[in-house]
Amino acid sequence: MGRIPAGPEVPRTPIGMLQMASALKSDMFAFIGKRLQTYGDVYALQVPGGLHYIVANPDFAYEMLVGQPQNFYKDTGYKDPKVGLTLFLGNGLLTSDGDFWKKQRKQVAPALHARRIEAYAETMVESTDLMLTRWHAGSVLNIDREMMRLTLGIVAKTLFNADISAQAGRIGHILDTLQAAMMPLDVLPAWVPTPLRFRRDRAIAGLDEIVYGMINAWREQGADRGDLLSMLMLAQDDDGNHMTDKQIRDEAVTLLLAGHETTANTLNWTFLLLAQNPDVEARLHDELDSVLGGALPTLADLKRLPYTEMVIKESMRLLPPAYSFGRQAIVDTEIAGYSIPKGTEVTVFSYFIHRDPRFWSEPERFMPERFSPENEKHIPRYAYLPFGGGPRICIGNSFASMEARLLLATIAQRYQLRLKPGFQVEFDPLITLRPKHGLMMTLAERTPERHAV
Ligand code: HEM
């Protein structure tokens, strides 16, 4: 029989709870990091209704995700009727469970298969090149906004064949509103109207309008365009049933959100880290200049850009966009000597695993060499898990990895980005790890050096 891990007292009074929420909000990583130091890499909170384990242990993560995934569902945080992701993602891939999830995953997977996505490379580079026509040396830009628009446009074009550039601003605003509404400690009953809930409901209605618009437009044409939307519209289960419009809407919204926000943040953090580490940046420029010689990157070039890939991987180690993810035990079980009673919530923090000195030397340093083919082999199992693992591993990981490398290569070849003097970057760990007040950076034009290739 395993044991329940030790952990701190959870405040029981409303004032104590508000104090804890405010400490978490002001610096979540410092707050949880201190507790991990005190109690070890798995600690328990006695919360109303059961236990909540906080985990920063790779073996535990491996066993939960790969060893016994059948014993865990997505945590109830996803399904909270007031602040859960299901509020606007519905029952899509990210939030569904059991046989239903399995069926949906099988239907969506072919569109994101490594072979299939190769066809998207050109759109990715073209969209980036188009964005760069609006950039000018010397100007100051909110890189967060630029990256969000770019990656949203790419996922819409590649997966849904939709040009949403005209609506990108509106969708961006809707998603900002929804992220902000998902997180607060909302203690009021679900029926109480508040300004935040009003904004949230309006944002969901706006999102529905856009996505049902895409579904209706497809139906008017009714042709198989070979994109994901066509696949969803035409898919039939074993009994010959098609997905309902609501189900297609849920999958589409899930992919639009999951498919752009994380990649945009990967690029945000990569540009910040490059600006803070000019030696790494110089090596990256060197690789880009000698391999591409000023030309736009293609899919075939990626093999010849190993350092670019190492930079992206190291950026996702230090600042993982999906910095934590949660499960709930659906049966009594045991992992790593810990008893996990049915109903226990488990949150794995990849953020802390990625910075643990037991697995990473000088963990705070930005050192892409950790991911050289030689060094990568020695990274302990599940000490690096930016895309999660097991059957629910990110379905878009190949898409994201290709996209991040192509976008970085296209942009870094032409511009050197520096933080705007005096601008303070603040981390905002909401659903993803994003910059709280954007990322204001100055652009300096580069002329790629022509190397003999
Ligand atoms: C750098 C970019 C990305 C990162 C860091 C990332 C990270 C993750 C992680 C950690 C999970 C697992 C969550 C869990 O186990 O609870 C996940 C799941 C998922 N991701 Fe990604 N993701 C990225 C890009 C994408 C893209 C481009 C797409 C789609 C085009 C996508 C679609 C999804 C979906 C649908 C799931 C749910 C899969 C399932 O449960 O079956 N992601 N992602």
387 lines ligand 1 (CB under 6 A): yes
86 lines ligand 1 (CB under 6 A): no
Average pLDDT over residues 434-443: 95
DSSP letter string over 325-347?
Answer: EEEEESS-EEETTEEE-TT-EEE
Tokens, residue 394:
């990110």
For ligand 1, what atom is nearest to the CA of residue 254? 35
pLDDT tens digits along 259-273: 999 999 999 999 999
pLDDT tens digits along 70-128: 999 998 776 666 667 788 888 899 999 999 999 999 988 988 988 888 889 999 999 99
In this model, does residue 226 exceed pLDDT 90?
Answer: no
| Percent of the chain predicted with pLDDT > 70 | 96
| Percent of the chain predicted with pLDDT > 90 | 64
Q: What is the pTM of this model?
A: 0.94
Q: How far apart are CA 57 and CA 63, in angstroms?
A: 10
CA distances to 403, 410, 417, 430 from 292, in Å:
17, 10, 19, 37
- Going by CA atoms, what residue is nearest to atom 21 of ligand 1? 394
254 lines ligand 1 (CB under 6 A): yes
For ligand 1, what atom is nearest to the CA of residue 399? 27
396 lines ligand 1 (CB under 6 A): yes
Tokens, residue 209:
């309008």
Beta-strand pair 345-349/338-340: unpaired
Q: Is residue 267 within 8 Å of residue 154, measured between CB atoms?
A: no
C-alpha torsion 261→58→30→427, nearest 10: -10
Model confidence at 312, pLDDT cuts 50, 70, 90, reads very high
Residue 24's contacts (CB-CB under 8 Å, 6 or more residues apart) are 31, 32
- Which has the minimum average pLDDT: 62-66, 352-356, 428-432, 440-444? 428-432
For ligand 1, what atom is nearest to the CA of residue 321? 5
Q: Is residue 383 within 8 Å of residue 350, measured between CB atoms?
A: no
Average pLDDT over residues 161-183: 78
Question: Using alpha carbons only, what angle is made at residue 195 by residues 191 and 199, rounded to the nearest 5 degrees?
Answer: 95
For ligand 1, what atom is nearest to the CA of residue 390? 15
178 lines ligand 1 (CB under 6 A): no
| Distance of CA 69 from the midpoint of ligand 1 (Å) | 16
Using CB atoms within 10 Å of the CB of residue 13, give its burial: 0 to 12 exposed, 13 to 18 middle, 19+ buried: exposed
388 lines ligand 1 (CB under 6 A): yes
Burial 236-248 (b: 16+ CB within 10 A, else e): eeeeeeebeeebb
Q: How far apart are CA 322 and CA 429, in angstroms?
A: 9
Q: Is residue 368 within 8 Å of residue 71, measured between CB atoms?
A: no
What is the best residue among 262, 319, 346 to mutate for testing ligand 1's pocket, by most ligand atoms within 8 Å of CB?
262
In this model, does residue 443 exceed pLDDT 80?
Answer: yes
DSSP letter string over 247-272?
Answer: HHHHHHHHHHHHTTHHHHHHHHHHHH
55 lines ligand 1 (CB under 6 A): no
pLDDT tens digits along 393-425: 999 999 999 999 999 999 999 999 999 999 999
In this model, does residue 190 exceed pLDDT 80?
Answer: no
319 lines ligand 1 (CB under 6 A): no
What is the best residue among 350, 385, 394, 401 to mutate for testing ligand 1's pocket, by most ligand atoms within 8 Å of CB?
394
CA distances to 164, 403, 407, 433 from 266, in Å:
22, 10, 11, 9
Average pLDDT over residues 286-299: 96
Model confidence at 452, pLDDT cuts 50, 70, 90, reads very low
Q: For residue 224, what pLDDT is reported? A: 82
- Going by CA atoms, what residue is nearest to atom 7 of ligand 1? 387
255 lines ligand 1 (CB under 6 A): yes
| Distance of CA 79 from the midpoint of ligand 1 (Å) | 17
Q: For residue 40, what pLDDT is reported? A: 96
Q: For residue 349, what pLDDT is reported? A: 98
CATH topology classification for 14-445: Cytochrome p450 (1.10.630)
Model confidence at 430, pLDDT cuts 50, 70, 90, reads confident
| Distance of CA 258 from the midpoint of ligand 1 (Å) | 6
Task: Tell me the domain boundaries of the chain.
Answer: 14-445
Backbone angles phi, psi at 327, to 5 degrees: -140, 170
Beta-strand pair 345-349/50-55: parallel
pLDDT tens digits along 334-393: 999 999 999 999 999 999 999 999 999 999 999 999 999 999 999 999 999 999 999 999
- Going by CA atoms, what residue is nearest to atom 6 of ligand 1? 387
Average pLDDT over residues 205-219: 89
In this model, does residue 223 exceed pLDDT 90?
Answer: no
Backbone angles phi, psi at 247, to 5 degrees: -65, -40
